[in-house]
Structure 1
C-alpha cells in the first residue's frame, strides 16, 4: 500500500481532493501532517476522500506549523467533536514526547479506536502495547533506526525522502534522475512485517514557509520507466533571463513546453492522469496558472502514477 506523506498546505489538500476519485482505498492511504490552524479546510479534504472510501491518517500532534505546540489530544478532539469525517489518528512519538502522548494512546486503545504511530527514532522503552495495536507503524527511512528495532515493528511503513531536491531550480539536471524503487521493494520487503511505503511526493521533506518568485522556473514530473520499472523524475526548466525574476509566465511556458515535448517522446509517462491532463489543458490554452498550481498537478500526477502501478 502507498502512503503519500503530505503537509496540510492549501494546494496539497486541493491535490488530494481532486485526485480522490482516482484512488483505490485498498492501495492508497494518505498521511496528512496539518501545518495550519485552518481545520475546516483540512476536514473538507478529508470529507472528499471519505466520499471515495479513502480514510487518511492525520498526525494529531504535528511537529511543524501552527499546531506544533498544541497538546497531543487537542487536534484529535477538535476534529472528532466538530466534524463528521472518518480518519485514523496518527500519533508522532519519540523519546522526548512519549510521556506526553501515552494518555492519548491509552485512551484510544481503551475506546478501541484505530490509530497509527509515526515513530521518529529508536525508543528503548517498551512500546509493544502500542505498536501491536497500531494499524501502521510509520518510520522515516531505515537508516535512522537500528535493524533490530525496525524489524520488531508490526505493520511497518517506510517513508523515504526520494525527491532529489536542490537549493536553486537552476541546479536541477535536465536528464531524468532516479527517484525510487520503493513501489517494487516493499513487496520483498525491506524489513520484516512491512505493509507499505511512502514518500514526500515531488517536494522536499524539509519544512519551510519560504517561497516566492524564482530566477528559473522548474516543473517536476515523475514516471515509472517501462524498461526497468524504476521511478524517475524529469525536471523541466525555463531558459530565458536566468539571472532575474522577470516574466514568470513566460518562464513557466518554456518549462511546460519542455515537459510536454519530453512526455510526447517518452511513452513511460502516463499522460492520462488527472494532473497531466490539466498540464495539457494549460499548454493548449497558453494560460499561466501561477506557480502553486504546477506543484499541485505534479503531486496529483505522482500519486496517481504510483496508484496505477500497484
Structure 2
C-alpha cells in the first residue's frame, strides 16, 4: 500500500525505528536509500523492522550520498545479517546512465533478497521490460513519477507497481505559504492502475548533504482535509523572524506558537498523533529539542496521519 521513501540520514532512520511497529501493523513498506558511510543506523532500523515482522526495501546502489559510487557495503550488510529474513528486500535503483546489462547483473547478484526495481531516470524502460518478460509477474517496480510517465509504467503491467510522488514543494523556509495542497495520490493510485503509492514525506525528493543556518524555522505538518474530498494538505508554521541565522530556539518558539494557535481553533484537521502530543508538551515546557528532533516529529506525524486514514 504506502511506501514512504527515506534518505538514510540520522533522523530518517530513527523515524523508521520508532514507527516500525505501526508500519508493520498497517502494511506500510518503507524504502531506504542509505546515504551515510556508516551503516550502524541502517542496521538498527532494519533490526527494528524485522523484530515486528515488517517489510522494508533497501536501495543497494544509491544515487546520493557516501555510497553513490559503490554500494558494496550495503550489499554486504544485507548478505551478512538479513539473508533469508522475510521482509527485507534489495532495491535496485535504475538510474539515468545505467544499462540493461547493469540492471540485470544487479538483479542476479541480489536475487536471494527479493529484489525490487526502483525506476528513477532509467532510459531503457521498454526494452528492459522485454528483457524480464518471462518473470515480469514475479517482479515489483517502484516508479519516481517525475521520471516515469503513464506510457513508461504501462510496459510493466502485470507486475506489482508502486507510484512515488513528491508532494513537498522545496523552497526557503521563509517563502513557504501557511498551507498548500500536498497530494491526492492516496485516493487515486488505484485509478492509475497502481498497487500502491509513496512519497518523500515532508522532506521532498531533492537531496542536500546538510542544512545551513536556519534563517527561518518551519514546522511542516500534513493533514487530510475532509472538506476537500480527503485530499492531503500541508501546513507550514514559519517563524516570524527570518532575517538572521541566530536564535533557532526563539524562532522555533514562534513557529510552535502558530501551530498551537491553529490546534486551539478546533478546525485544524490535524490528527492528534504522538507528535502533536509532543509539540504540545514542548510548548507547555518552553523547550527547544533541536531542529533534527522537530523534523523527526513531523516525519512521524505524516506516517501516523496516513495510518489513521488508511489503516
TM exceeding 0.5? yes
- After superposition, what is the alpha-carbon deviation per residue over 1:223-255, rounded to whole angstroms, capped at 9, x for unaligned? 001222010001101113x22122211110110
- After superposition, what is the alpha-carbon deviation per residue over 1:67-98, rounded to whole angstroms, capped at 9, x for unaligned? 11115x55223322145765111111246323
Query: How is 1:60-209 mapped onto 2 (pairs within 5 angstroms)?
Result: 60-70=60-70, 74-82=73-81, 86-94=87-95, 96-97=97-98, 98-109=100-111, 111=112, 113-120=113-120, 121-123=122-124, 124-125=126-127, 126-129=130-133, 131-134=136-139, 136-141=140-145, 144-153=147-156, 154-166=159-171, 168-174=172-178, 176-187=179-190, 189-190=191-192, 192=193, 194-209=194-209
Shift of the 179–146 alpha-carbon distance from structure 1 to 2, 3 Å rule, reads closer
- After superposition, what is the alpha-carbon deviation per residue over 1:10-35, rounded to whole angstroms, capped at 9, x for unaligned? 00011111122322445310000000
Structure 2: stretches of 5+ with no match in the other structure? none
Q: Counting helix residues as a fraction of each chain, which structure ranks higher?
A: 2
Aligned equivalents of 2:24 and 2:262: distance in 1?
28
- After superposition, what is the alpha-carbon deviation per residue over 1:140-190, rounded to whole angstroms, capped at 9, x for unaligned? 11x533533312222111101111221x2111112x100001110013x21
- Contact 1:122/1:149 (CA < 8 Å) preserved in 2? no
CA positional deviation for 1:274: 2.2
SS in 1 for 2:235: strand
- Contact 1:19/1:274 (CA < 8 Å) preserved in 2? no
Q: What is residue 277 of structure 1 aligned with on the other side?
A: 277
The yes-or-no answer on 1:234 pairing with 2:238 is no
Aligned equivalents of 2:149 and 2:240: distance in 1?
45
SS in 1 for 2:2: coil
Structure 1: stretches of 5+ with no match in the other structure? none
Aligned equivalents of 1:95 and 1:251: distance in 2?
40
- After superposition, what is the alpha-carbon deviation per residue over 1:265-299, rounded to whole angstroms, capped at 9, x for unaligned? 2251101x222222222112211111111111100
Aligned equivalents of 2:307 and 2:255: distance in 1?
26
Give me the CA root mean square deviation. 2.0
Q: How many residues align?
A: 298
- Contact 2:170/2:206 (CA < 8 Å) preserved in 1? no
Aligned equivalents of 2:123 and 2:103: distance in 1?
16
Q: What is residue 29 of structure 1 aligned with on the other side?
A: 29
- Contact 1:122/1:146 (CA < 8 Å) preserved in 2? no
